[in-house]
Copies of this chain bind each other. A is one copy, B any other.
Amino acid sequence: MTVFRGKILHFVDDPAIAGERAYVYLDDGALLVRQGKIEQAVAWASIKDDLPGDAVTVDRRGRLITPGFIDTHIHYPQSDIIASYGEQLLEWLERYTFPTEQRFGDPAHASEVAGFFLDELLRNGTTSAMVFASVHPSSVDAIFEAARTRGMCLIAGKVLMDRNCPEFLRDTADSGCAQSAELIARWHGRDRLLYAVTPRFAPTSTERQLELAGKLLEENPGVLMQSHLAENLDEVRWVSELFTWSRSYLDVYDHFGLLREGAVYAHCIHLDALDRRRMSETGAAMAFCATSNLFLGSGLFDLDAALEHGVKVSIGTDVGGGTSFSMLRTLAESYKVAQLARQRLSPLRAFYLATLGGARALGLEDRLGNFAPGKPADFIVLDASATPLMARRMQSASGVVEELFVLMMLGDDRAVAETYVGGKQLHER
Contact = CB atoms under 8 A, between A and B. Distances in A.
**Best-surrounded residue of A85, A116, A324 (most CB of chain B within 10 A):** A85
A120 B388 contact: yes
A380 to B, nearest CB: 18
B340 A297 contact: yes
A85 to B, nearest CB: 5
21 contacts: A79-B392, A82-B389, A82-B409, A84-B405, A86-B346, A116-B388, A119-B388, A120-B388, A120-B389, A294-B333, A294-B337, A295-B336, A295-B409, A297-B338, A297-B340, A297-B341, A299-B340, A323-B332, A323-B410, A387-B413, A412-B412
A332 B116 CA distance: 24
Contacts of A341: 297
Contact of A396 (B80, B120, B337): B80
Interface residues of A, number: 50
Interface in A319-374: 323-325, 332-333, 335-342, 344, 346-347
Q: How many copies does the complex hold?
A: 2
Contacts of A332: 323
Contacts of A335: 295
A83 interface: yes
A419 to B, nearest CB: 14
A7 interface: no
A221 to B, nearest CB: 37
A339 to B, nearest CB: 3
Contacts of A276: none
A402 interface: yes
Contacts of A387: 413
Contacts of A297: 336, 338-342
A86 B410 CA distance: 15
A123 interface: yes
A206 interface: no
Contacts of A342: 88, 297
Interface of A: 79-86, 88, 116, 119-120, 123, 294-297, 299-300, 323-325, 332-333, 335-342, 344, 346-347, 387-389, 392-393, 395-396, 401-402, 405-406, 409-410, 412-413
Given A83-B405, A294-B337, A295-B339, 4 more contacts: A80-B393, A85-B346, A294-B340, A323-B410
Contacts of A333: 294
Contacts of A325: 389
Contacts of A396: 80-81
A423 B16 CA distance: 53
Given A323-B409, A409-B323, A336 B389 contact: no
B85 A392 contact: no
Nearest to A342: B297
A64 B237 CA distance: 43
